[in-house]
Amino acid sequence: MRIRYPLALLLSVVMGLFPVRGAELNYATALAQSKADASNPAYEDWYWSLMYPAFKGARRQAFAECLPLNNEGLPSIGQVLVLDTTGAVRQSVARGDSALDRCMQSKLSMRRYPAPPKPDFHVGYELEGSPILPRTP
């Protein structure tokens, strides 16, 4: 019985260190909120001058590290991150559950971004995949 409380305390500390990945976040709703946040006139200057370049660079780096080296084509992927007031990722949700989705979510969630102008700022992206088409002679 004595071990329950220290274990519960340890779990609560560890869970606080890592972002929640989709536990209560619906992808479609979060993506809509990310579009609303990015296009809000009150946040537009901050978004295009600070957030967009930082997130674009993070996506490119994560994509280069996560891209599967296979002949199956590229799956459709998407991520939405919810940032706290310091720019840390508080929550994240992926569009799907492919290996590429999971890798991108992991890489993007561990970064810190520019501090947003409001709490729970949503930022996201989507990429439509395509199969590898056979070459024609």
Q: Give the mean model confidence (pLDDT) for residues 107-136.
A: 86
Over the Cα atoms of the chain, what is R_g? 18
pLDDT of 135 reads 57
Which CATH code fits 26-127? 3.30.1150
Q: pTM for this one?
A: 0.74
Which two three-digit tokens encode residue 136?
């024609």
Tens digit of pLDDT for each residue in 10-64? 333 333 334 444 446 899 999 999 999 999 999 999 999 999 999 999 999 998 8
Q: Shortest CA distance to 76 belongs to which of 39, 111, 104, 36?
A: 104
